[in-house]
């Protein structure tokens, strides 16, 4: 088999890594992920949540390898999907998804676009000065090509693909190897299996526990797509429930979300971003922001010592009228309008600007996790393949379930709580 190393993983235990994955793991692009927290600022609420994107990347590669083997794929395809899984998050910026919305607005790209650029060699996440000091010019595509893997093909697996339109049949047909993409990115995929298991382990929240072995024992291929035998329905439902509960109880816990919006506003507050902070790791971003204006430094000190803003107002969709929904929609689609609304509430409260934050999470949720409302998994029955929703009312209920308890939340510095509370609705809706 050649040289290999054994990684002692907290979730999957001993993972054997050799060949192309071993060399990729030694690259600075991958090692950079060891300095980026998987769950951003969630450690402020869940003290054990200090695990990193590197751990998740290794775990996702291991899970992808096991899924591919369970499907009986040839060795070359197993190698391909396990490599794509290891690289699927290599483009993440500091604190993972925390700054996704801010960086998307300022740069017009998301971390998946950067990931694909790193894999193909079109983007370098390690700046020239660091490369010079490392004295290592090898990059991801160099390693992939050494092992006979196409960087473009690997990059094509890290982001969801669409059905291909067949003009002769006048219908959308699945690609013949769609299952390769689905192992990396689909309603059931290696990424979700690992992050649910890993995040549940490190946060201590049991909601993320899933029956991975049962899923492996019931997964199958049908017409080029990943599907499950009917006897695996309970395990699929368990995974979908785990995903929904982890989002509402961990990823979008109100205090976690408030801390993340405080960090996002600190980055927004510096105005023109003169450095490519997408390439930073967590500590570099914190140091960078500590060199900025006093208000930004004050926010960073507050985050460091967990002096977090407090919720003063939150509403779910059912509590809003049509006019209020329309007002929130206008605010959510234009960050300038959201900023104006925050300043308006602060002005009406007679508090300093920057002490009020409006959070409308759904657009950013869809940017960071576009799979969140996808529960349709193909299921094999005695009469042929069908969709999970036809066999499981729970799957359909989860599809329409609100992942986040609120569609709008306003928070502020604790000492201004009563002042903001008195004017918040007028400031939001006029």
10-residue mean pLDDT profile of the chain (430 residues): values are 87 97 97 97 97 98 98 97 97 89 75 92 92 91 97 89 39 61 90 96 91 96 93 93 91 95 91 79 95 94 97 91 89 89 96 92 62 74 89 80 82 96 92
pLDDT of residue 96: 86
pLDDT of residue 168: 40
Structural element, H or E, at residue 155? helix 151-157
Torsion angle in degrees (nearest 10) through CA of 360, 365, 366, 368: 140
Q: If you count them, how many residues does the chain have?
A: 430
Locate 344 and state its tokens.
């308006």
pLDDT of residue 274: 64
Interacting residues of 361 by C-beta distance below 8 A, sequence separation 6+: 252, 257, 404, 406, 407, 409
Q: What are the residue ranges spanned by the domains of the chain?
A: 4-160+173-253
> Helix, strand or coil for residue 69?
helix
Residue reference for tokens 């359909």: 396
Q: How far apart are CA 378 and CA 39, in angstroms?
A: 30
pLDDT of residue 163: 39
Q: How far apart are CA 265 and CA 200, in angstroms?
A: 28
Tell me the fold of 4-160+173-253. Answer: Hypothetical protein af1432 (1.10.3210)
Locate 281 and state its tokens.
């790791």
Q: Can you give the pTM of this predicted structure?
A: 0.91
pLDDT of residue 57: 98
| Sign of the alpha-carbon torsion through 356, 360, 364, 365 | positive
Angle in degrees, CA 393, 398, 402, rounded to 5: 140
Pair 42, 203: CB distance under 8 Å: yes
pLDDT of residue 139: 96
Beta-bridge partner residues of 344: none
CA atoms within 13 A on the CB side of 394: 11
**Residue 299: closest CA among 410, 409, 413, 418:** 413
Distance of CA 332 to the CA centre of its chain: 20
């Amino acid at each position: 088999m050649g040289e290999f190393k054994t990684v002692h993983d907290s979730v999957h235990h001993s993972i054997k890594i050799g060949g192309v994955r071993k060399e990729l793991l030694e690259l600075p692009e991958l090692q950079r992920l060891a300095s980026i927290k998987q769950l951003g600022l969630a450690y402020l609420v869940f003290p054990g949540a200090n695990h990193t994107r590197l751990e998740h990347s290794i775990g996702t590669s291991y899970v992808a390898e096991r899924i591919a083997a369970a499907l009986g794929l040839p060795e070359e395809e197993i190698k391909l999907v396990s490599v794509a899984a290891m690289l699927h998050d290599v483009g993440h910026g500091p604190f993972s998804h925390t700054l996704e919305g801010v960086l998307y607005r300022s740069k017009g790209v998301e971390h998946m676009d950067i990931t694909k650029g790193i894999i193909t060699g079109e983007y370098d996440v390690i700046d020239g000065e660091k490369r010079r000091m490392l004295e290592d010019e090898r990059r991801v595509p160099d390693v992939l090509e050494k092992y006979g893997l196409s960087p473009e093909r690997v990059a094509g697996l890290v982001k969801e693909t669409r059905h291909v339109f067949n003009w002769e049949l006048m219908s959308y047909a699945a690609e013949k190897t769609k299952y390769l993409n689905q192992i990396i990115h689909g309603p059931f995929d290696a990424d979700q299996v690992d992050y649910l298991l890993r995040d549940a382990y490190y946060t201590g929240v049991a909601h993320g526990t899933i029956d991975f072995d049962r899923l492996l024992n019931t997964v199958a291929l049908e017409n080029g797509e990943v599907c499950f035998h009917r006897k695996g329905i309970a395990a699929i439902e368990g995974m979908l429930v785990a995903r929904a509960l982890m989002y509402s109880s961990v990823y979008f816990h109100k205090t976690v979300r408030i801390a993340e919006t405080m960090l996002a506003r600190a980055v927004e507050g510096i105005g023109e971003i003169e450095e490519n902070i997408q390439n930073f790791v967590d500590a570099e971003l914190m140091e960078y922001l500590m060199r900025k204006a006093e208000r930004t430094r004050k926010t960073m000190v507050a985050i460091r010592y967990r002096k977090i803003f407090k919720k003063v107002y939150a509403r779910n969709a059912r509590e809003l009228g049509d006019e209020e929904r329309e007002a929130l929609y206008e605010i959510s689609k234009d960050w300038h309008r959201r900023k104006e609304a925050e300043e308006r509430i602060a002005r009406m409260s007679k508090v300093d600007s920057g002490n009020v934050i409006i959070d409308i999470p759904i657009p950013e949720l869809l940017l960071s996790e576009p799979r969140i409302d996808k529960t349709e998994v193909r299921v094999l029955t005695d009469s042929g393949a069908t969709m999970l929703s036809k066999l499981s009312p729970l799957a359909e209920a989860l599809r329409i379930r609100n992942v986040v308890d609120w569609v709008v939340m306003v928070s502020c510095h604790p000492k201004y709580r009563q002042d903001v509370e008195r004017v918040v609705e007028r400031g939001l809706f006029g």
